[in-house]
Structure 1
Amino acid sequence: MFGKTKFEVRQAEGYRYIDLADSKKEGRTLVLLHGMFGGLSNFDPLLNRVQHRSVFVPEIPVYSLEKARLTIPELANWLSQVLKEHAVKQPILLGNSMGGHIALQYALTHPDEVEALVLTGSSGLFENDLGSSRPKRYDREYVKERASLTFYEDLVDDTIIDEILEILQSPAKLGRLLRVARSTHEHNLEDKLNQVQQPVLLIWGKNDVITPPEVAELFCEKLPNATLAWIDRCGHAPMMEHPDKFAARLINFLETNQCSRNNEEQHEEDYSHH
């Protein structure tokens, strides 16, 4: 979704992926997980800024997995299989929207197999639907209006609209998407977040209308070892809208494995620590 990635895409059985993982590169492998309407290209701006690190990006096969597996717990199981196939051990999981939800579920079910988490616009507590009413037909203006809620700036172009329309006009794809969406709403993790002991960095857009700022604050309150970093004038996909700021916060976290309030490079108005 959102265009084609500029990085080399490899094919595995049932899914595609980008592999910049290399034992000679810095640190644990960073695994990037996109959102429900997302795809590999969502992380291109970030990949351009972290190529010195070992990075693995699987495309979550929402439109090809068996329907029974289109739930957050089953997608976390799928991720476990994929990481084993690629010998990715003790990853740092970075998830946007649904990808953050999957990362949290994976950390809950595989607590000894995750080094840290980075969540941005994550579902798992509460998220607004892109549309509360379903029109009789999906026209371009409606799709543009709904898709624009993802971003603070106007980043929705004809390519994005065409991709979304192609999904919405396919009964099979739309049915799968709705099944996953239902699971993100039903699989609430609030009562389990206290079990997540890994360091967690929350990078959140202050203008996110899908998972609003109060969602980030609740995550920070419920997760035992969480730090919240805000990005102003930013919506639901900070790694796309503000890749430089996102990368700066991410790299600082990766280098310290926590975002200490005392770090001289941090600013009181941008960070809060729980």
Structure 2
Amino acid sequence: MTLAKTANQSTVTVSGHEIEMHKGGSGPPLLFLHGGGGFGTFDPTSSPLADKFTVYAPSHPGFFGSARPDWLYTINDLSHFYKDMVQQLGLDDYVLVGHSVGGWIAAEMAAMDHHNIKALVLIDAAGVRPVNGEIAEVFMVSGDTRLKMAFHDPAQVPNYDSISADPGPEGAAVMHGNMEMLSRLCWRPYLHNPSLTRYLDGVKTPALVVWGKQDAIIPVECGEIYAKLLPNATLKSIDNCGHNPQMEKPEEFNAAMAAFLGEL
């Protein structure tokens, strides 16, 4: 999967490092942090989110061919980077949304300081370790295998061909670089922070945890852990759905988001 290209792209420099920013919509600010595979077929800047919010969707530093900062080695580092970006952009009382590794970043940001975060949404987020199940191995398998793991039923995904097509040499190099950067950030401990669960009960922000029940990468048990530890969280599990509900079950995902955000 790749980063969706949008009509509203620019670059911003944060802490001396330039990143690509996708921006769209109007209304209060919403920051959307993508997973390791980018946005795929889901462009948050033209989704129903943009009907009610000004959506900011950055590309993580070190992903999609951008330079890798020498200091960036952990999700905690990346969380601090985005806290700096939020301050630089003047985002206040904003909605924070993250998918997969982006959800892990969002959870870490909220645990650091949730006071200017109006609401938190975690979508099949990494960051916590299941007690009974396992987080799937994604670094030692092929790109085709990772793609199959990402969806319960690809036939449900609009425009699936656009992400399953042969990316060509250039696209393959970009995806390989993404996985290298992801492994740098998430290898040890593997796709979780053992300390994060200690801090989630301090996040008083209203939270929605959205999860595909058949997620083959990060089991729904992790969503249950997030929903249990975040004091003001609601869990929305979506049946017949894998790791990407925003792509695989867009109507149910959008309805869950609208219901939650409409109550703020």
The two structures have a TM-score, normalised by structure 1, of 0.79
Matched, 1:176 2:166: no
- How many residue pairs get matched? 243
Please state if 1:239 is matched with 2:259: no
Gaps of 5+ in 1: 136-141, 258-274
Shift of 1:67: 3.7
Matches of 1:90 and 1:163, distance apart in 2: 39
Which structure has the greater CA radius of gyration? 1
Counterpart code for 1:143: G
Q: Relative to structure 2, which stretch is displaced further, 54-63 or 96-105?
A: 54-63
Equivalent runs, 1:1-274 vs 2, <5 Å: 1-2=1-2, 4-13=4-13, 14-20=18-24, 22=26, 25=27, 28-39=28-39, 41=40, 43-44=42-43, 47-54=46-53, 55-63=55-63, 64-126=67-129, 128-131=135-138, 134=140, 142-154=142-154, 155=160, 156-159=163-166, 165-167=172-174, 174-182=179-187, 185=191, 187-188=193-194, 189-257=196-264
| Alignment partners' CA distance in 2, 1:249 and 1:181 | 29
- Distance between the aligned counterparts of 2:98 and 2:25, measured in 1? 17
SS of 2:191's partner is helix
Structure 1, residues 101-149: CA drift from partner, whole Å, max 9, x if none?
Answer: 11111111122121110001101113623447x47xxxxxx42122210
Q: CA deviation at 1:62?
A: 2.6
Contact kept? 1:29, 1:53, Cα under 8 Å: no
The CA deviation at 1:48 is: 2.6
Alpha carbons of structure 1 residues 130 and 159: separation in structure 2 relative to 1, 3 Å? farther
The Cα shift of 1:10 comes to: 1.3
Find the aligned partners of 2:124 and 2:111 in 1 and give their Cα distance.
Answer: 19
Q: Secondary structure at the match of 1:119?
A: strand
Question: How far apart are residue 5 of structure 1 and its match?
Answer: 2.1
Q: Aligned residue for 2:157?
A: none
Between stretches 149-158 and 104-113, larger displacement belongs to 149-158
Q: TM-score, normalised by structure 2?
A: 0.82
Q: 1:195–1:44: structure 2 CA closer, same or farther, 3 Å change rule?
A: same
1:83 shift after superposition: 1.5
Unpaired stretches in structure 2, ≥5 consecutive residues: 155-159
Map Cα deviations across residues 159-200 of structure 1 (whole Å, 9 max, x no partner).
Answer: 568677324655xx6543311122563523122211111111
Aligned mates of 2:9, 2:235 — CA distance in 1 = 32
* Alpha-carbon distance in structure 2 between the residues aligned to 1:159 and 1:70: 30
What SS does structure 2 have at the residue aligned with 1:52? helix
Matched AA of 2:202:
Q
Helix, strand or coil: the match of 1:149? helix
Greater CA deviation, 225-234 or 58-67? 58-67
Q: Distance in 1 between matches of 2:136 and 2:70?
A: 21
Go from structure 1 to structure 2 and tell me whether the alpha carbon gap of 1:65 and 1:229 turns closer, same or farther (over 3 Å shift): same
* Separation of aligned partners in 2, 1:2 and 1:159: 12
1:199 aligned partner, one-letter code? P
